[in-house]
Amino acid sequence: MKKICVFDLDGTLVNSIEDIAGAVNRALKQIGRAPYPVSDYRHMVGNGMELLMQRALKEGTRQELLLLTELYQKEYLSHCCENTKPYSGILKLLNQLKQHGFLLAVLSNKPQVQSEAVVSSLFPAHTFFRIIGQRAEFPRKPAPDSLFALLASAQASKEEAWYIGDSDVDIQLGYNAGVDTIGVSWGFRGKDELKNAGAKQIVDTPLELQKQILE
């Protein structure tokens, strides 16, 4: 019997693409680089901040990369929730799952401090029993280490967990961890990427996700 639902953050719980894009673009301008259209960021995010910075810089020195990263972190933390909101139906979904006794958690490749800032700004206190973002002690998703640590802290087995995400990284994580995974099509990547990654279950709305989890 399932007892915990672990969610990816960006593209799954929240639509954060405008604020991520805005912060990177402002940082790029500060080092004399051209910005990207917001739509380009849908395929630049998802693998952690380091890869996002490398993709945004494309070519440059190590010093430029470090400076861009520093500027981005400042810009993002100052503006992380100007346009970012939970997807329609997400708050109701989370409330329903909690009422049915599920533990809820967040597992993201977004840096820890950024993940906590977004969650604390947009969700009621104590919605999630734990938030794990990108941090030095764990390799990035799709490596399963962070998910295993999260389940251990909940005293839950992998058979008792759902993992929910919007990208191929999330589907790969589910396979690597041996955890039942549900792909959501409303995020940054879309249904085709989820199918190509091998997703066995894909839902189009939070209500469909609720029914899938509670059935």
Amino acid at 24: V
Average pLDDT (173-192) is: 97
pLDDT over threshold 90, residue 213: yes
pLDDT at 113: 98
pLDDT over threshold 90, residue 206: yes
Q: How many CB atoms lie within 10 A of CB 81?
A: 14
pLDDT at 215: 87
Residue 54 shares a structural domain with residue 66:
yes
For 6, 13, 57, 190, the CA distances from 89, given in Å and listed in that order, are 17, 10, 35, 18
Q: Chain-wide mean pLDDT for the chain?
A: 97
Question: Model confidence over 75-89: pLDDT tens digits?
Answer: 999 999 999 999 999
Question: Model confidence over 129-154: pLDDT tens digits?
Answer: 999 999 999 999 999 999 999 999 99
Give the count of domains, the chain: 2
Here the CATH number for the domain that contains residue 150 is 3.40.50.1000
Model pTM? 0.96
Residue 68 shares a structural domain with residue 96:
no
pLDDT at 67: 97
Residue 137 shares a structural domain with residue 153:
yes
Residue 64: pLDDT band by 50, 70, 90 thresholds? very high
Average pLDDT (155-163) is: 98
Q: What is the CA radius of gyration of the chain?
A: 17
Average pLDDT (34-57) is: 96
pLDDT over threshold 90, residue 205: yes
pLDDT at 4: 98
Average pLDDT (119-126) is: 97
User: Can you say whether the dihedral through the CA atoms of 173, 176, 177, 178 is positive or negative?
Assistant: positive
Here the CATH number for the domain that contains residue 25 is 1.10.150.240
Beta bridge partners of 14: 10, 86
- The token pair at 141 is 């998703």
Residue 26 shares a structural domain with residue 124:
no
Residue 32 shares a structural domain with residue 112:
no
Q: How many CB atoms lie within 10 A of CB 167?
A: 29
Rounded CA-CA distance 151/6 in Å is 9
- The token pair at 202 is 């894909």
Structural domain boundaries enclosing 142: 4-15+84-214
Average pLDDT (95-120) is: 98
Residue 28 shares a structural domain with residue 115:
no
